[in-house]
Amino acid sequence: MVLPANLPWGASIPSPSQQPVMVSNAQGLACWDLAAQGPQGCNGPGGNRAGSGALTQRTKNGRTEFSVDDRTGNFRDNEGYFEFDARIK
């Protein structure tokens, strides 16, 4: 899957039975606060030390959705993407 950093919950897969979803092979770079923090506002899928910018997921209404943990809430100015595999357990 490819998750663009500028869309909240920008990628999803069907998960009608609400089973857990495993993410693997996550890579990429997302800049979620570049204007205020410069390069410190960019990171990989694991996020920064506080978890900001991490690849996150939630299961809701029969779908597992993925997003960048953008604690500023302003996704429009985000840049980059995460690429990963998602598999239902």
Whole-structure pTM value: 0.92
68: left (phi over 0), alpha (psi -120 to 50) or beta: beta
Distance CA 47, CA 55 (A): 7
Per-residue pLDDT at 56: 97
pLDDT value at 72 more than 90: no
Across the chain, mean pLDDT equals: 93
71 pLDDT exceeds 90?
no
Distance CA 48, CA 20 (A): 24
User: In the structure, what pLDDT confidence band is assigned to residue 34 with cuts at 50, 70 and 90?
Assistant: confident
Q: Tokens 């595999």 — which residue? A: 85
